[in-house]
């Protein structure tokens, strides 16, 4: 399921967040034990997931959000409409700064969905999480 894009079919934010929760079961987090899952929807309705993958050399760890983006890009998708993020402790979690920058590259107008507990879904614009962002437009000036 996770290596192939799925079709969105009018997926709600809660359904997308639940996919992120399902995905986090595959996270590789033996050092922090902080598992994260992400599920995203591209502008054409394909759904991809990602999990955090830690490494004994901590700097080589990759976050779930970037793994989901890389899965989408590897399948030929370049625009993301929204992403949901969930973590193993059940609290609301947000993309780190590096992930916010990568998300901006593929969806500056995207919505970021978070989940707390089993049902509390919140959504934020990426622009509110990454104000004054740097993007392709800045390279044209």
Q: Which residues are catalytic?
A: 65
Listed in sequence order, the residues at least 6 apart from 123 whose beta carbon sits closer than 8 Å to its beta carbon are 13, 82, 111, 112, 113, 114
Alpha-carbon gap, residue 22 to 39, rounded angstroms = 9
Phi first, then psi: what are they for 46, rounded to 5°?
-80, 145
């Amino acid at each position: 399921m996770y290596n192939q894009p799925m079709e969105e079919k009018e997926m709600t934010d809660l359904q997308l967040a639940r996919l992120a929760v399902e995905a986090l079961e595959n996270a590789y987090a033996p050092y922090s034990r902080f598992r994260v899952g992400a599920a995203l929807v591209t502008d054409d309705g394909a759904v991809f997931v990602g999990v955090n993958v830690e490494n004994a050399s901590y700097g080589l760890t990759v976050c779930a959000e970037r793994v989901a983006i890389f899965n989408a890009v590897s399948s030929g998708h370049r625009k993301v409409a929204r992403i949901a993020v969930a973590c193993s402790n059940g609290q609301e979690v947000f993309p780190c700064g590096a992930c916010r920058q990568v998300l901006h590259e593929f969806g500056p107008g995207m919505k970021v969905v978070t989940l707390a507990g089993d049902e509390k879904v919140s959504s934020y614009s990426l622009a509110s999480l990454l104000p004054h962002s740097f993007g392709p437009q800045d390279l044209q000036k």
